[in-house]
Structure 1
Amino acid sequence: MTRLALLGSPVNGALSPVLHRAAYKAMGLPWTYHAIECPPQDLPHFLGTLDGGWRGFSLTMPLKRTVVPLLDETSETVTRIGAANTIVVTASGRLLGENTDLYGVMQALREANVTTATTVTVLGAGATACTALAVGRELGCDQAVVIARDTRRASSLLGPTAERIGIKIIIKPWTAVDHHLAVDLVVSALPPHAADALAPLWKPGTGTLMDVVYRPWPSRFAHAAQGAGRRVVGGLPMLVHQAAQQVALQTGRSPAPVTEMLLAGQSEIREVA
């Protein structure tokens, strides 16, 4: 039996299994996909003991950076961002790494008619923040502000990471958020509820908020941004598009059934709510 899985910690309640299973059903593939709890220290052993039934994996936090040196081959996007969210397992057992998060965010923004951004603020300093910085570069931004609760952790984005992405990064402390929301694009790369306290800081204006949260939706931060006149793009379209790209890579069949995946995700979110 052909098996795939989501790896990460925590993975309880993750939407990826719903999306991938919907894709396989629409494609007539009798494949299985499950969420597997896998902390970083267990990843090398897990990947080193795979049998021939595995076709690929999705990776969520905190594995997107940890996995990179464990891969046999990585794409240009993985090298540039320094993080992988996708593994394709070849017939010979080689592990090929890809990052479909960048594709997912870009597709979600295009659907919202966001095609340029010369001023960008990113909230957060993890692997998703690296993707957000690459998105900013793709949209025409050459200097971005990163707002971090831990500025020492955020300093890891400087140097080689910034050079690979091709963007200048300015790190600001959490207390500086309200001075950096009046930009073309704000990307909240924070987990659910982490930006709730920032909601009152929005002032009337234009621009776009991309919030990677998809549940609960809208987040308090996104609701306040919309009330202040911002275009808001949620995490579900991003998640669906990145998962669809994973499906295409892992099945070798393109395009993936995006509509069926989106409907399955929407249905799951409604049921849980």
Structure 2
Amino acid sequence: MEKITIPADRDGVAYLYGHPLRNSLSPPLHQTVYNALGLNWTQIPLSSADGPSYTQSPDITTFLASIRSNPKFVGSSVTMPWKVAIMSHLDDLTEEARQAGACNTIFLRRDGETETKSRTSYVGTNTDCIGIREALLQNSPTGADHFRGKPALIVGGGGTARTALYVLRRWLGASAVYIVNRDAAEVEAILAEDKLRNPDSSNLAPLVPVSNPAVAATVEPPVAIVSGIPNYPPKTDKERRAREILRLLLGRQLHEKDQGVILEMCYHPVPWTDIAQMASDARWKVILGSEALIWQGLEQARLWTGIDVVSVPGLVARVKEFVTKAVAERSKLNL
């Protein structure tokens, strides 16, 4: 089995599948990559207008039939509401997709011993794993050593929490992964899914719900946090309780050399959230969620082009410059 490398002189079409897509930075991010590589490629948002401020994407069967019959197809980003539903329709899934429980990327793979016997497979993966991993590693004082053998924390109970759990275990070597969330049922669902995916979990860092401020005040402090909740002030008692638990954990840094690193995945409509400010006040290093966007997009480009895009001189800098400007401009519009 081998990854298909698309000839550079061939026109290529990538898609962005899901809805709504009006505010997505994915197409211009990928265009920045294609321009840097000199490729005559583009990424097209695959949706149509459904009212003045909403878009609607085609159903999965229509979408897959379209890409399978398109000789210019090179790959696709997948977003809500299809990230889970599409998995059972693909030819194969990577470990990242299985462990995260969601697919955000489709790429092409050739199966077979010879060119004449080969078959093209449509494979689902989850590059958000790479986005979270690289955002943390690229911005930590000592790379993976800063996190290895120490606890980490996940805030939230959605898809980001599931993806972060895999990353913190697989690549960062966390000794335990705490989870703080307003909804106990969501936490129970994550625990149950984790048990099904990893029936033999003896070698995995335990997933530990923290729902009591008294426990937060006594557990070993985390050195890494991935926050995956919207930037809304807490209103209910459960939300205020979860925020207080987070505040306590943020305040328990013991030494400057063990400075905590928090990845705030929420960067829209504004990149600097209430949680980012709270972490900064507690002397944590704050990484904006746009960093994860950059690295997951670069991983998609690598899968689709067959090129180690990160090693191309100046390419990462160009993508970072674009994303930084785009996020800043959108933030101004929402002030």
TM-score band (shorter)?
0.7 to 0.9
**CA gap 1:258/1:168 in 2 versus in 1, 3 angstroms:** same
1: CA distance, partners of 2:157 / 2:45:
25
1:183 to 222, 233, 238: 222
Shift of 1:69: 1.2
1:266 match: 324
2:156 match: 124
2:137 to 110, 113, 129: 110
Structure 1 contact 141–167 (Cα < 8 Å) conserved: yes
Structure 1 contact 74–96 (Cα < 8 Å) conserved: yes
Task: State the secondary structure of the residue aligned to 2:279.
Answer: helix
Structure 1 contact 65–127 (Cα < 8 Å) conserved: no
1: CA distance, partners of 2:45 / 2:277:
30
- Give the structure with higher Rg (CA): 2
Residues 1:34 and 2:44 aligned together:
yes
1:236 match: 290
Shift of 1:60: 2.5
2:264 to 211, 221, 233: 211
2:100 match: 81
2: CA distance, partners of 1:61 / 1:150:
21
TM-score (norm 1): 0.85
**CA gap 1:266/1:150 in 2 versus in 1, 3 angstroms:** same
Residues 4-13 or 102-111, more deviating: 4-13
Structure 1 contact 120–183 (Cα < 8 Å) conserved: yes
TM-score (norm 2): 0.71
Task: State the secondary structure of the residue aligned to 1:14.
Answer: coil
Task: State the secondary structure of the residue aligned to 1:32.
Answer: strand
2:23 to 2, 13, 25: 13
1:161 to 172, 179, 194: 194
1: CA distance, partners of 2:320 / 2:168:
25
Query: Counterparts in 2 of 1:218-229, with a 5 A limit?
Result: 218-229=272-283
Residues 125-134 or 40-49, more deviating: 40-49
Question: For residues 13-37 of structure 1, what are the alpha-carbon distances to aligned partners after superposition, in whole Å with 9 as ceiling and x for unaligned?
Answer: 1111121010011111111213334
Question: For residues 94-117 of structure 1, what are the alpha-carbon distances to aligned partners after superposition, in whole Å with 9 as ceiling and x for unaligned?
Answer: 311122122221111112125215
2: CA distance, partners of 1:209 / 1:102:
16
Task: State the secondary structure of the residue aligned to 2:29.
Answer: helix
Task: State the secondary structure of the residue aligned to 1:96.
Answer: strand
Task: State the secondary structure of the residue aligned to 2:174.
Answer: coil
Question: For residues 39-79 of structure 1, what are the alpha-carbon distances to aligned partners after superposition, in whole Å with 9 as ceiling and x for unaligned?
Answer: 79923432233331321111223432222212111122222
Counterpart residue type for residue 180 of structure 2: I
Structure 2 contact 17–57 (Cα < 8 Å) conserved: no
Structure 2 contact 152–177 (Cα < 8 Å) conserved: yes
**What is the root-mean-square deviation in Å for CA atoms of aligned residues?**
3.1
1:101 to 97, 118, 128: 128
Structure 1 contact 184–208 (Cα < 8 Å) conserved: yes
Percent sequence identity over matched residues? 26
Provide runs of 4+ in structure 1 moved above 4 Å.
37-41, 90-93, 175-178, 194-197
Shift of 1:207: 1.6
**CA gap 1:10/1:157 in 2 versus in 1, 3 angstroms:** same
Shift of 1:11: 2.4
1:60 to 76, 79, 88: 79
Residues 66-75 or 188-197, more deviating: 188-197
Task: State the secondary structure of the residue aligned to 1:263.
Answer: helix
Counterpart residue type for residue 173 of structure 2: G
2:185 to 126, 139, 152: 152
1: CA distance, partners of 2:232 / 2:283:
21
Structure 2 contact 97–125 (Cα < 8 Å) conserved: yes
1: CA distance, partners of 2:184 / 2:58:
25
Shift of 1:87: 0.5
2:256 match: none
Residues 214-223 or 198-207, more deviating: 198-207
Counterpart residue type for residue 105 of structure 1: I
5+ unaligned residues in a row in structure 1: which ranges? none
